[in-house]
Amino acid sequence: MGNREDLLDGAMRCLRERGWARTTVRDIAAAAGVSHAAIGYHFGTREALLEQAMATAMAEWGEQIGRAVEGAAGAPDPYAALWDGLVVSVTDRRDLSMATVDALVRSDHQESLRAVLARGHEQARRGLAAVLLGVAPEEVSDEDARTLGAVQLALVSGVTVQWLASPEGAPTAAEVVAGLRTLARLVTAPVDTRTVGPRESDAAAAGSELPARLGRPARRALAVHGFTRWAQLTRVTPADLLALHGVGPKAVRILTEELAQRGLAFAAAPSRPRTARRAGPGSGPARGGVDQAATMTSSTMPSSS
């Protein structure tokens, strides 16, 4: 290795052993086996060298997650297996995770360091979304990066902090996944928009792509349930939307027209097997299904894409 590579390697070792604040120029030079002047020649300042070392460490963490994904691909429950790998990456890299938290605190007074961390987070959001969607990072939309990727990164960051603060009390991978599945049931449960205040429903509708001509009640109701993008509507049927309080036939007709103008359409209603039923004395009409509002599940709720 040349002096530049030696310095990066030495800076990363110092970050692991001493953290951001306690690492000095003398420490880095000694770890790298070079003179102090080499730091100025190759990087200019201690801060610039540590920022590069931090960026390298974050990239290596991303590669470790990639290996965890490969290992989870053939598992019976890939998402649970992915979390096994994520927790291992946190415990294996506890020193660098702690250095990252230290750097985050320092970044409030160091704009260049804040920019490094921001770039790392952007790459992590896009990379995690790519992992979950099974596509290359460059194929991830900005919306998926800022929704699916951001939420997954928030989960990883939160679990990391818990492992750093109290390893004995931090959740296992199995506990994280169990908690997420409970949250998913709560998030995807039908919402009665009559219980949602005007400010909350207006805030939900503020960023909606759906047209104002739907009328405020329907637009609010759709937004509260998470329907704010045209692509989300292609995963549900008109009957699914009619089951939501505040969405009527007129709104569904408008949405059908607007989707058609964009070359899109609602999902086709699932076919149901017909069961022959012999009419008898006093028998009422056969029931052709169940109450849509009572049976809406996560499959009819919008995803992040």
Whether 201 and 226 have beta carbons less than 8 Å apart is answered as: no
Rounded to an integer, what distance in angstroms lies between the CA atom of residue 305 and that of residue 303? Answer: 6
Comparing 2-6, 66-70, 161-165, 181-185, which segment has the lowest mean pLDDT?
66-70
CB 58 within 8 A of CB 125: no
265-294 pLDDT tens trace? 998 877 655 544 444 434 443 333 333 333
Output the CA torsion sign for 251, 256, 261, 262. Answer: positive
- Residue 285: the pLDDT is 39
Residue 87 identity: V
Helix (H, G, I), strand (E, B) or coil at 80: helix
Q: Which fold has domain 193-270?
A: DNA polymerase; domain 1 (1.10.150)
| Distance in angstroms (rounded) separating the CA atoms of residues 92 and 146 | 28
State the Cα–Cα distance between residues 218 and 220, nearest whole angstrom: 5
Distance in angstroms (rounded) separating the CA atoms of residues 237 and 254: 14
CB 232 within 8 A of CB 285: no
Residues of the chain with CATH 1.10.150: 193-270
CA 53 centroid distance within chain: 26
Give just the sign of the alpha carbon dihedral 139, 142, 148, 151: positive
Q: Classify domain 53-187 by CATH architecture.
A: Orthogonal Bundle (1.10)
Q: Give the pLDDT confidence score for residue 261 in this predicted structure.
A: 93
- Give the separation between CA 2 and CA 41, rounded to whole angstroms: 13
- Residue 246's closest CA among 199, 286, 191? 191
Convert the pLDDT of each residue in 127-186 to its tens digit: 888 888 888 889 999 989 999 999 999 999 999 999 989 999 999 999 999 999 888 877
* Total-model pTM: 0.60
What are the start and end residues of each CATH 1.10.357.10 domain in the chain? 53-187
CA distances (Å), origin 1, targets 10, 25, 291: 12, 20, 69
4 CA to centre of own chain: 36
Three-state secondary structure call for residue 271: coil
Q: In the chain, what percentage of residues exceed pLDDT 70?
A: 82
25-41 pLDDT, tens digit per residue, is 999 999 999 998 999 89
CA–CA dist 7, 28 (Å, integer): 7
